Copies of this chain bind each other. A is one copy, B any other.
Amino acid sequence: MPRRTGAPPDPPARLSLISRHLAPDFALNTPYTVERLPSTIDTALLPKTQTRKMSSQPPHPTLLIPGPIEFDDAVLQSMSHYSESHVGPAFVATFGETLSMLRKLFQTSDLASQPFILSGSGTLGWDLVASNLIEAGEDVLVLGSGYFSDGLADCLKVYGANVTELKAPPGQKPQLPEIEKALSQKRYKAITVTHVDTSTGVLSELKDLSALVHKVSPDTLILVDGVCSVACEEIDFDGWKLDGVVTASQKAIGCPAGLSISMFSGRAMEAFKNRQTPPASYFASMKNWTHIMQNYEAKKPSYFATPSPQLIHALHTALTQILARPLSERFTLHKAASDRIKKAVADLGLKQVAGNPDEQAHGMTAIYLPESVKQTDILPNLAKKNVVFAGGIHKEIATKYIRFGHMGVSVLDPRRGDVERAIQALQDGLAECGYQKA
């Protein structure tokens, strides 16, 4: 990540850096920080290398799976925030700021857009969509690009949606002409797209897709599974006229797992309000949560179910760090790392599961193994080299490929050397497993 050059940090910032070194446990979102770090200080000024030396993280294998990912120290330290009332002014302010920061992350300035943060896995976002925005019997077109699109279709069916799946073979995605054809055959309440299917690393393009939907079927809601894309792939929520993006805390956002994070358009919220039937879930019901989120963002205490203050603090820290730099820079850095990795994979003579270069995610790479190398040999070999990759998960090809996640600090902080170390480990590991490039 390019360092800011030119003028050194101003005196208050320098002072805060020193105080951090004296009390490395008290990072962002601790009361000590509130005293020591004025909110105007650019956290990007904090010296990463020194922070790492002071790290509370013991040496451990580098986690390079497509989520959870490696954590920044300050994010992880925020997880140890002392206990607070979930309706006390300090926590309400933190939660409110976190919701407001989500608007910037999703690039929406439309005040009708509504963010949600719920305790839960990313999967809970599917329930949020399926039980609030769709009513039983309504038609939904699901663009199928892998395991996770299948899961979303299953979830929609549980809540009674009439699902039409447009499924592509492993490593591919449905193309615009067939989508246009499907949209012209039936009036769909919504279309869903998995921005990056974590099972295959296939990236779905959103801008042209949305333009097509708005042209062919303008009333159809455009709902995006952004679990493996938010914060590493560009998402222009307003500009692309999206109606919903659901994601999770533990991927490119770089926060520990445990939060379902989402943004819905004013149009989606209207669709919810205009339901003929009550929402089909309780804990994931927008009826229960919408006014709570609005109250939190207005810094008013409010209660439906107890949020996780520690996870919200960690998310607050992660979003503060993300928004301290231009988002475009973040996306560019993810793309650059992805390009390096994909070139290295090609140089090894290996193929990606996502075959088309225009359809390859920038936060992960799914790599077909050579026929002579088993997943059960290479993954433990890499683990011995302190690099943790993931196995395959797409049911048709699960044993034939491995997945390399490259999101967040592993990509943004070049001093870590995570990407280069992983590429080297992959090269060495494959050779040790007997593979030679043909």
Give A residues with C-beta under 8 Å from B: 25-26, 30-32, 56-58, 60, 63, 65, 67-71, 76-77, 79-80, 82-88, 118-124, 126-127, 130-131, 154-155, 158-159, 248, 250, 256-258, 278-285, 303-311, 388, 390, 393
Q: Are B308 and A256 within 8 A (Cβ)? A: yes
Q: How far is the CA of A69 from the CA of B372 in the complex (A)?
A: 55
Max chain B CB contacts within 10 Å: which of A77, A122, A282, A307? A282
| A62 vs B60: C-alpha distance when bound (angstroms) | 34
- Given A67-B306, A80-B77, A257-B306, residue A283 in contact with residue B127 (CB < 8 A): yes
A127's closest neighbor in chain B, by CB?
Answer: B283
Q: A56-B80, A63-B84, A303-B393 are in contact. Are A119 and B257 (CB under 8 A)?
A: yes
Determine how close the nearest CB of chain B comes to the CB of A33; give it in whole angstroms: 10
Which are the 5 A-B pairs with shortest beta-carbon distances? Answer: A258-B308, A121-B305, A123-B305, A79-B79, A155-B282
For the complex formed, measure the closest distance between the CB of A347 and the CB atoms of chain B, giving whole angstroms.
27
| Bound Cα distance from A410 to B70, whole angstroms | 34
Least CB distance from A157 to B in Å reads 9
Q: A119-B119, A120-B120, A281-B158 are in contact. Are A79 and B310 (CB under 8 A)?
A: yes
From B57, B124, B284, give the contact of A82 (CB < 8 A). B57
Are A85 and B388 also in contact (CB < 8 A) when A79-B310, A122-B306, A257-B306 are? Answer: yes
Closest to A250 in B: B306
Quick check: A308 and B311 within 8 Å, CB to CB? Answer: yes
Q: Are B306 and A68 in contact (CB under 8 A)?
A: yes
| A309-B60 in contact (CB<8A) | no
Are B80 and A60 in contact, CB atoms less than 8 angstroms apart? no
Contact present for A82 and B86 (CB under 8 Å): no
Considering only CB atoms, which chain B residue lies closest to A251 in the complex? B306
Query: Can you offer 21 A-B residue contacts whose CB atoms are under 8 A?
Result: A25-B56, A58-B82, A60-B83, A63-B83, A65-B85, A68-B83, A68-B85, A70-B83, A76-B80, A79-B310, A119-B120, A119-B121, A121-B305, A124-B305, A127-B284, A130-B282, A256-B310, A257-B310, A258-B258, A283-B284, A308-B311
Instruction: Identify the interface centre among A60, A77, A83, A282: most chain B CB within 10 Å of its CB.
Output: A83
8 additional contacts, CB 8 Å, given A79-B79, A123-B283? A68-B86, A71-B82, A76-B82, A121-B308, A256-B309, A256-B310, A257-B306, A281-B284
Q: A25-B25, A70-B83 are in contact. Are A126 and B283 (CB under 8 A)?
A: yes
How far apart are the CA atoms of A70 and B307 in the complex, in Å?
16
Residues of B within 8 A of A56 (CB): 25, 80
